[in-house]
Amino acid sequence: MSNSDSEKKEVNKIAYFIPNTFTAINMGCGFFAILFAQKGLFYQASMLLVIASLFDSVDGRVARLTGTESSFGEQFDSICDVISFGVAPAMLIYYKFLIGYGRLGIIVSFLFCLAGCLRLARFNANIDEVDPAYFQGLPIPAGALALVGYTLLTLEFQFPFPQVYFSVPFVLLFSYLMISNIPFYSFKKASFVKKYSKQMLLIVIMIISLIFIYEELMLFTFLMAYVVGCMIHALRLRFVKK
Cα 78 to Cα 86: distance, rounded to the nearest angstrom: 11
Cα 149 to Cα 50: distance, rounded to the nearest angstrom: 9
φ/ψ of residue 185, rounded to 5: -65, 135
Q: Which has the closest alpha carbon to 21: 67, 62, 64, 65?
A: 62
Q: Would you give per-residue pLDDT tens digits along the chain (242 residues)?
A: 555 555 555 555 666 778 888 899 999 999 999 999 999 999 999 999 999 999 998 877 777 777 777 778 888 888 999 999 999 999 999 999 999 999 999 999 999 999 999 999 998 888 767 777 788 899 999 999 999 999 999 998 888 878 889 999 999 999 999 999 898 888 766 666 666 667 777 888 888 888 888 888 899 999 999 999 999 988 887 777 66
Secondary structure of 60-112 as H, E, C letters: HHHHHHHCCCCHHHHHHHHHHHHHHHHHHHHHHHHHHHHHHHHHHHHHHHHHH
Tell me the pTM. 0.87
Domains of the chain (ranges; CATH) run 3-241 (1.20.120.1760)
Instruction: Enumerate residues 6+ apart whose C-beta is below 8 A from 124.
Output: 74, 78
